[in-house]
Amino acid sequence: MPLPACHWRSEIPGECEWFICSHPEVFSTDQRVHAGICVVCPYPSRPPPAQPQLVPQVARQARCLHLGDVIGERHCPTCGGGVRLKVFRCRHPRHVETTIRECDLCSDYEACTLN
């Protein structure tokens, strides 16, 4: 069954059954939804947002080659309450420290492969 046109849905590279949904009332892990949800979803008929939603980056499957040990914590400025994020050492020459989210979005990410 074809999916309805939807301005909230974004494709995930390499996936054909899972998508990212940026609708503010859809709550799921990493905002990932299965095509079966899209087929029955009521939101495609609603008007698009005035300001486009930022589509979250899907977490990378492999650990970054440069990611080191936990060296501390920092306050999460976008989380509710007193959430603290783990801070890791980053061994890339342009960085000193990172969080997992920052590492996932970093253009210097290099997948750690086992040979």
pLDDT tens for 76-115 read 877 777 888 899 999 999 999 998 888 877 888 887 765 4
pLDDT at 55 over 80: no
The pLDDT, as a whole number, for residue 26 is: 78
Q: Tell me the C-alpha to C-alpha distance, in Å, between residue 4 and each of 30, 41, 75, 99.
A: 22, 9, 40, 36
Record the pTM.
0.48
pLDDT at 38 over 70: yes
**Residue 45's Cα: distance from chain center in Å?**
25
Q: What percent of the chain has pLDDT over 90?
A: 16
